[in-house]
Amino acid sequence: MDTSIRVQFYIFLTSVYAGLLIGLAFDLYRVIRYFIKPKRILSGIEDLLFWIVVAIIFFYIINKSNWGELRGFIFFGTFLGGIIYIKVLSRVLHPLMMKLFNGIMFITGWAINMIKIPFVRARKMLVPGVKRIKRIKRVPVDAIREIRRYRKIILKKK
């Protein structure tokens, strides 16, 4: 094989690799969207960010392998890598990522609950005391209100 053909073949394989990475990014994006469940406006922003990330991945790999020269076989290789990922690897990796994110969400929820337990218990212990203090603080205010209410009666008494 000639050296330039080897280089072109290497560039083609690199573009297939870029397609595989873009497919992986798409699967990761699908899993994140499944757990976040964004609303309409946030969904549009997320889509825009996803395509920006895809463009960055594509142009970074092309810049590193081909010095930024765009050719038809580069696009073909990228699409081929994406199709290979979606048809073959996604069937294995997507359920695996779902289980991984489920585990991460479970561990995160468990850790948050462990952190919250002392605060919840302290609140349960302090709430009755706080209620008593509020009642005690209310006594002078209620007394003054009663005095104002019955002021005429009290002033007439001598």
Query: For residue 158, what pLDDT band results from cuts at 50, 70 and 90?
Result: low
What is the pTM assigned to this prediction? 0.66
- Helices 72-84 and 40-66 cross at an angle (nearest 10°) of 120
Q: What is the pLDDT of residue 1?
A: 45
Largest CA distance in the chain: 122
pLDDT tens profile 52-73: 988 888 888 888 877 777 778 8
Q: How far apart are CA 118 and CA 95, in angstroms?
A: 36
List strand residue ranges (DSSP E) for the chain, in order. none
For residues 72 and 9, the answer to whether their CB atoms sit within 8 Å is: no
pLDDT tens profile 141-154: 888 888 787 777 77
